[in-house]
A and B are shown apart, each in its own frame.
Chain A
Amino acid sequence: MSEEHQDAVPEVDASDAAADAVAVTDDPTKAFSFSPEREKKYEEIVRRYPTRLSAIMPMLWLCQDEWGWLKPGVPEWVAARLEVPISRVYEIISFYTMYYTENPGTYNLQVCRNISCHMAGSGKITKHLCKKLGVGLNETDSEGRFRVEEVECLGACGMGPMMQVGKDFYEHLTEEKVDELIEQWRRDG
């Protein structure tokens, strides 16, 4: 381990409303906690990764799996637990597009817009989705459930148009297929 992460752990910003007092303890490593299963995974990551810095990415994934996004205070907690500078955590969060510092909603519909999908008609699918859900691009609907986003190549070039929702790929999309999926998700809640 290099010297840079031997520094004192950063403190959680306590200046926010007193309502947040629950999260603010003297020990910033206790601001949040994982489910037992993820805590075990965390310990495995720390044990197996060669440096604490290289463990930031998998640690952020664990947080996102736990809470769906990186809610306020979580980056500071990650820095405290891994004993790395908070700047290094934000370096990663701000560079990579898949770490969310805003809640993306339950169904984040990510339509591929790159060349093969474009030729297959991805633009039509995006427009249809926006119209159906009554949202613009990168907007979440009034219930906070659906969001429509355009993303770059997802590696489904032979199966376009396609979109990713959570971990799942939905390929060979048509307007009808998209309608069915949305109805299904609305029923699922």
Chain B
Amino acid sequence: MADCPKILSARFEEPDSHTLAVYESHGGYTALRKALTELDPDRVREEVKSAGLRGRGGAGFPTGVKWGFVPQNTGKKVYLLVNSDESEPGTFKDRYILDYDPHLMIEGAILSSFAIHSNDCFIYIRGEYGWLVDRVQAAVDEAYAKGYLGKNILGSGYDLEMIVHKGAGAYICGEETGLINSLEGRKGQPRIKPPFPAVVGFLDCPTIVNNVETVAAVPWIVNHGAAEYRKVGTEKSPGTKLFSLSGPVKRPGVYEVPLGLPLEDLIFGEDYGQGMRDGIELKACIPGGSSVPILTAEETLDVNLDYESLAEKGTMLGSGGCIVIGDDANMPELLKVLLRFYHHESCGQCTPCREGTGWLDELVGRLIDGRGRPNDLELIEKLCSGMAGLTICVLSDAAVMPTRSFIQKFRADFEALLPRTQQPEAYVPTTSAAELGRR
């Protein structure tokens, strides 16, 4: 894709790309200068809105529209929280931005703060990315020293404080209201919406939570304009997106692709994954991080990487964590790995999720261990209907979506684990009456 501009990954392979000197030599912070001297916050917001940039953390909500929900002149502070709590299994793209181009994220965060009239910004980085916390802190210190952060930025009268905050190991803090509670010094348990954070967020103030990759696209949009951004991607999914490619492909890694690229190209293309490793055939693919429904090989070869095409196939673009699965994989085992994860990460607030993720984990586990019962697949489905859409956040749904799609699309693999002979429905005691009496 020679004609696709590198909006996010231009410096990933540049030596010392994390330093201010290299970033500036590539035109870094010119968008900030332009915004502060020639544009006002509304212009920046309008530009991002007409560019059609959508949230890259998973939900895909239009960024400029989200910014527009911030009420002005409430007398309260406005906060921008940059969500760097990347922990969706299969996703490692924000890590690349923080590692190889932290100043791109910082400039994007300053522009985004400016657009929503915020003077206070937090970068919330997952605790496991400890070395990236140091990396980003060093970059923030450089930006302060050069006058890109702090009081009266570039003499414009605009002030912005930026704090790098380190998480401490909780997947749920990647959910925006969980992140807000965490930053307030609480358990990272999500809040009921509405009210939406844009109105009542961090410390009850208007708050925007944006993903790293989302804010990282803003400098390019400010420099080149919405029209140029729209030349890449599709009508409804404009621009580029980073995809994290993992699984048994020849060249796993993070690739910036124009939205609308065939998923087949990402896996097999010369510029990207270069195909399956020798001796392994494509069996399935989870295109948007572990929480989205899985695609069969056939579906994988017949879908494009944009929000609409993936939705048509019943799945989602999500975080762009593209997990390729080979024919050597054991599907029930992979589902068990995912369910163990959701069980572990459920925050425990809502009963359907707290109990349901554990039961699903246990049920698939007993199938694998040969302790399954004839109606277990129906029981799993029954559990799923008691979990989906019934909780404060979507972690419960995130466990249900892979469960349902794995079993629906690879049913034979699961049926093979059921007891061979259909046992009667009647209750069969597995413990003696004497033993039961002792309990």
Contact = CB atoms under 8 A, between A and B. Distances in A.
Contacts of A96: 127, 167-170, 188
A92 B185 contact: yes
Given A157-B91, A157-B321, A119 B247 contact: yes
B92 A156 contact: yes
B307 interface: no
Interface stretch (A26-34, A44-52, A130-138, A140-148): A44-52
A49 B90 CA distance: 33
B108 interface: no
B410 to A, nearest CB: 15
B187 A95 contact: yes
Contacts of B139: none
The B interface, classified by DSSP as helix, strand, loop or mixed, is mixed
A51 B184 contact: yes
B203 A116 contact: no
Interface in B192-219: 203
Contacts of B86: 155
A57 B165 contact: yes
Interface of B: 86-92, 94-95, 120, 126-131, 134, 161, 163, 165-171, 182-188, 203, 244-248, 252-254, 286, 290, 321, 323, 325-326, 329, 333-334, 337-338, 340-341, 344-345
B87 A119 contact: no
B102 to A, nearest CB: 16
Contacts of A153: 87-91, 290, 341
5 contacts: A57-B182, A119-B329, A153-B91, A155-B126, A156-B92
Contacts of A111: none
Contacts of B167: 57, 96, 98
A50, A51, A56: residue with the most chain B Cβ atoms closer than 10 Å: A50
Contact of A53 (B166, B184, B187, B253): B184
Contacts of A118: 333-334, 337
A155 B95 contact: yes
A97 B344 CA distance: 11
B185 A152 contact: no
A52 B92 CA distance: 32
B36 to A, nearest CB: 23
B134, B203, B247, B337: residue with the most chain A Cβ atoms closer than 10 Å: B337
